[in-house]
Amino acid sequence: MFLKSCGTKKIKDIKARDLQDYIVTNSKPIKTMHALKRGINSIFKYVYIAKYIDSNPIDRLDLPKDTRTKESIAKLKQKFFILDEFNTLIKQMRHNASSDETHRKIDLLEFLFWNGLRIGEALALKWSDVDLLNGKISITKS
C-alpha cells in the first residue's frame, strides 16, 4: 500500500516528510502509526543496506509518543470487577442493607452487571422491551 502511494517516484527520492505524511494520514491510533513505521522501516532498511540510498529517512520521523504506561494500563484493567469480587461485594451489601430501597438498588446493580448494561440503558427500559418467555431484553435507547 505504501509503495503504491509513491507512484513512479524513485525510492531514493522519497523524503522523511513523505513518510511522515503517509503514516499520519493512514493511521489514527498512535500504536498503529508506530506499527506502520516499523513495516515501512523494513523496506528502507533493506534499501539502505543494499546501498541504494545514503541514509534511512525513517530515522528522521517524529511521530507522537505512546503516552500509555504500564501503570495506566494496569489501572484501566482495575476498573472492572472479576466475578469473585462482584459476588463478595453483593453479599456484603445485602448483609448491610437495612431497607427495601437499598435491596432494590442492589438488585439494579446485579441486573446491570449480569446483563452488561449501562445505567442509562437500564433506566430507559420499558416492559415492551422485555420478553420474559424467551429470556430476552431489547436495548434500543439509553
- Contact between 2 and 22 under an 8 Å Cβ cutoff? The reply is yes
Please give the pLDDT value at position 1. Answer: 67
pLDDT-derived band at 138, boundaries 50, 70, 90:
very high
3-class SS of residue 140: coil
Provide mean pLDDT across the span 93-104: 93
Q: Average of pLDDT values for 47-76?
A: 81
Higher pLDDT, 125 or 71: 125
CA distance 129 to 77: 32
More confident call, 129 vs 29: 129
Q: Sketch the domain layout of the chain as residue ranges.
A: 2-68, 83-137
Look at residue 29 and tell me whether its pLDDT is greater than 90: no
Per-residue pLDDT at 99: 93
The mean pLDDT of 74-98, rounded to a whole number, is 86
Contact criterion met (CB below 8 Å) for 37 and 23: yes
- pLDDT > 90 in the chain, percent: 40
